[in-house]
Amino acid sequence: MTELITIERHIIEQQKKYPSATGEFSQLLADVTFAAKLVRREVIRAGLVDILGAHGSMNVQGEEVKKLDVFANEKFIQAIGHHGRFAVMGSEECEGIITPPEGKTSGKYVLLFDPLDGSSNIDANVGVGTIFSIYKRISDPTSGPGSLQDCLQKGVQQVAAGYVIYGSSVMLVYTTGQGVHGFTLDPTIGEFLLSHENITTPKRGKIYSMNEGYYRYFFDGVKKYIKYLQQEDKATNRPYSARYVGSLVADFHRNLLYGGIFIYPRTKKAPNGKLRLLYEANPLAFVCEQAGGRATDGYRRILDIEPEELHQRTPLFIGSEEDVKIAEEFEQGLRELEHDTELIPKMLAEVKKAESLLVK
Ligand code: P6P
C-alpha cells in the first residue's frame, strides 16, 4: 500500500530535515497550492462557463489577455496577498510591484509569478501552467512594504520555486533546494499527493523544443545546432524528435521527465529572446538544476544573471545537461557541423554535373 503524502505533509517533513526552514515558509507553499487549486477549478471549467475569449484588455506585455489570465492573477493576489507573509509580489500580469495591505507589510518573503503561462493556448485545451519563484526579503521588514529591489535578486538566491501544470492531470512540481518533487492533484479529495519524488532529468535526451518558424531570424549558431540535431547518428540518438507545444510549462515538464532541450534563443527580431527572467527562466532554472539539468542564456548561467527590471527578457537554453552544453558550443561559434553524410553525395553530383557541362 503506497503511503499517501500530501504536499503540506511533504513540506513539513522537508522542514524537519532543514531546521532553517520556518513554519511560515511551509505556509507560503501551502498558500501557493491553495491558489493553484482555485485556478485549476476555473481552467477545467473554461469550456463550460464561457470565460474564454479575449478579455479585451492588453497586458503589460502588449498581448491580448484571456479572461483566465486575469482570473488566475486575481486569485493568486487574493489568496496570498492578504495575509502579509509576502512583503512584495511581482506578476507577469502587473506592470509594477504588488504590495500587501496597510498593516501587513512586515512579511519576510517575496513572490514572483506567472499566473497562467501559455494562456494563448487555453481555447485549444492545450496544457497551461503557473510558475512561481520565492525569495527572502532583503529590505528592512520594519521599513514598510517590500520594494522593487527585493524582486530584483539573482535566481541563485531563490529559496523555493516551481510550477503547476494544468494538463491531462494537474501536477505541482517544486524545489526548496533539496531535490525536485512532483505532486498530482486527486480531485476527489482536493489534495496534491506525492507522485514523483526526487525527479532527476536524463543527462542527454532525444527531444528538442523550439519554434522553428522563426528559423530565418535565428543566428547562425542555433541554425547549425538544429541541422546537427537533424543529422543521422545512432550513437547520439540523432535525429532528435521535435516537440513544441508553445506552452513553456508543458514543454519544460515533458523534457524534465523524458530528457531533451528547450530553446527560446535570441533572434534578429528579439535580441533578448521572449521569455521573462524573473518569473519564467529563474524558477524553471532552479528546478532544472536541482533535477541535474542545466539552464543558461547560451552564454551565462540563468541563476547568475543580475536582474535590472521586473519584466526583463532573457534567451533560454534549458534541459538535459549534455544537450544544453552542445547547444551552447554552437551558439558561441565554438562548434561546427560534422560532415553531413547526405551532403557529400550531393556535392559530388554537383561536381559531376559541372564537369559534364564543361566537356560539352
Ligand atoms: P512563441 C506563451 O505565450 C509563452 O510565453 C511560453 O509559454 C511559450 O514557450 C512561448 O511563449 C511561445 O512563444 O513565440 O513560440 O509563440
Higher-confidence residue of 202 and 58: namely 202
What is the grid cell recorded at 266?
Answer: 535570441
- DSSP letters, 10-60, are HHHHHHHH-TTS-HHHHHHHHHHHHHHHHHHHHHHHTTTTT--SEEEEE-T
Q: Which amino acid is at 191?
A: E
**What percent of the chain is predicted at pLDDT more than 90?**
62
**End-to-end Cα spacing for the chain:** 82
Amino acid at residue number 194? L
Q: Is 204 in the pocket of ligand 1 (CB under 6 A)?
A: no
Distance 164 CA to ligand 1 centre (A): 17
Q: What is the pLDDT of residue 292?
A: 98
pLDDT digits 0-9 by tens, 50-87: 544 456 666 666 666 557 888 889 888 888 877 788 99
pLDDT-derived band at 352, boundaries 50, 70, 90: confident
**What's the confidence (pLDDT) of residue 258?**
98
Q: What is the pLDDT of residue 51?
A: 47
Q: Is 244 exposed, middle or buried (0-12, 13-18, 19+ CB in 10 A)?
A: middle
Q: Is the beta carbon of 130 within 6 A of some atom in ligand 1? A: no
Is 248's C-beta closer than 6 angstroms to any atom of ligand 1? Answer: yes
Residue entry with cell 493553484? 36
- The larger pLDDT score, comparing residue 52 to residue 39, is at 39
Classify residue 30 as left (phi > 0), alpha (psi -120 to 50) or beta: alpha
Residue 176 Cβ < 6 Å to ligand 1: no
Q: Which CATH number fits domain 7-196: 3.30.365.10, 3.30.540.10, 3.40.50.970, 3.40.50.2300?
A: 3.30.540.10
Boundaries of every domain in the chain: 7-196, 207-341
Ligand 1 pocket test, candidate residues 244, 248, 253, 267, most atoms within 8 A of CB: 248
Q: Are strands 207-209 and 261-264 parallel, antiparallel or unpaired?
A: parallel
Rounded percentage of the chain residues whose pLDDT exceeds 70 = 89
Cα 224 from Cα 46, distance rounded (Å):
41
C-alpha cell at 104: 501587513
Q: Is 316 helix (H, G, I), strand (E, B) or coil?
A: strand
DSSP 246-309: S-HHHHHHHHHHH--EEEE--BSS-TT-SSBIIIIIHHHHHHHHHTT-EEESSSSBGGG----S
Domain 207-341 has CATH 3.40.190.80: yes
Mean pLDDT calculated for residue range 110-116: 95
Residue 113 backbone phi and psi in degrees, to 5 = -150, 150
Sheet holding 261-264, edge to edge: 241-242, 207-209, 261-264, 316-319, 294-296
Q: What is the per-residue DSSP string for 91-116? A: ETT-SS-B-PPTT-----EEEEEEEE
**Residue 170 phi, psi dihedral angles, 5° rounding:** -100, 125
The confidence score (pLDDT) of residue 318 equals: 99
Q: Which of 163-177, 240-254, 313-327 shows the lowest mean pLDDT across its residues? A: 163-177
| Residue 205 confidence (pLDDT) above 90 | yes
For ligand 1, say whether the CB of 105 is within 6 Å of any of its atoms. Answer: no
Cell of 78: 487574493
CA-CA distance, 198 to 175, in Å (whole number)? 9
pLDDT, tens digit (0-9, with 9 covering 90-100), for 299-334: 999 999 999 999 999 999 999 999 999 999 999 999
Cα four-point dihedral sign 328, 329, 333, 339: negative
Average pLDDT over residues 132-146: 94
Order of strands across the sheet that contains 180-186: 86-91, 109-117, 128-136, 160-166, 170-175, 180-186, 191-196
